[in-house]
A and B are shown apart, each in its own frame.
Chain A
Amino acid sequence: DQQVKQNSPSLSVQEGRISILNCDYTNSMFDYFLWYKKYPAEGPTFLISISSIKDKNEDGRFTVFLNKSAKHLSLHIVPSQPGDSAVYFCAASANSGNTPLVFGKGTRLSVIA
């Protein structure tokens, strides 16, 4: 039973345009959400997080939006760069972020120059 779902296995975007990666969750106890980026043969790298008390968090080119009523979050990357090409994982945690992270299956982003 997937509690965190990333329904798009892959996404292709042109350099300079916006990349939007989506994530849905089913567990209403989740209150802390994170996005990780992973290159081949490396461990996941933390990108950005958001607490359920917010609906938006921004860090440079990366913005995460949270819609609690829809149990949906998205990661926006603007402008997209070729170096952003990687697999992006959405993750969620409960109890103010104290329970182990539950990850989605990931979305492979390809940014085309």
Chain B
Amino acid sequence: DTGVSQNPRHKITKRGQNVTFRCDPISEHNRLYWYRQTLGQGPEFLTYFQNEAQLEKSRLLSDRFSAERPKGSFSTLEIQRTEQGDSAMYLCASRSIVLGELFFGEGSRLTVL
């Protein structure tokens, strides 16, 4: 399967703990995006990378959130000191510069107790 891969698919954690999600994009795609989706809402943009450079961050991305794409391939999204409001589906997507559509992974669902 050469699609976008995310893991873990599900994560349950206690408030205050740190969590990290990983995304492996489609190999030839140089742009990688992170979105968050809560119940009844569409995906909300968090941040994106072109190769290893983080080009834009949403104001939704508080100081507790950090994303990296160290070698321009996979990416990680870390949430420190999780809060119940962080419970959501975290979606990763990738695209090439030429094509406009994003290809999404299946998401990582976070539940903060």
Residues of chain A touching chain B, judged by Cβ–Cβ distance below 8 Å, are: 4, 6, 32, 34, 36, 41-46, 49, 89, 91, 93, 96-97, 100-106
Contacts and interface: CB of A to CB of B under 8 A. Distances in A.
Given A49-B100, A49-B101, 10 more contacts: A42-B107, A43-B104, A43-B106, A44-B43, A44-B104, A46-B101, A46-B102, A100-B33, A100-B48, A101-B33
Interface residues of B, number: 21
Given A43-B91, A105-B40, A34 B45 contact: no
Interface in B40-71: 40-45, 48, 56
Contacts of B104: 36, 43-45
Contacts of A42: 106-107
Contacts of B26: none
Contacts of A32: 100
B25 interface: no
Contact of A97 (B35, B100, B105): B100
Contacts of B33: 100-101
B45 to A, nearest CB: 4
Interface of B: 4, 33, 35, 40-45, 48, 56, 91, 93, 100-107
13 contacts: A4-B42, A34-B100, A36-B104, A41-B106, A43-B107, A44-B43, A45-B104, A46-B101, A93-B100, A101-B33, A101-B45, A105-B40, A105-B41
Contacts of B105: 43
Given A43-B91, A44-B43, A101 B102 contact: yes
A99 to B, nearest CB: 8
Contacts of A46: 101-103
Contacts of A101: 33, 43, 45, 102
Question: Which of B48, B56, B100, B105 neighbours the largest number of chain A CB atoms within 10 Å of its CB?
Answer: B100
Contacts of B35: 103
B48 A104 contact: no
B43 A103 contact: yes
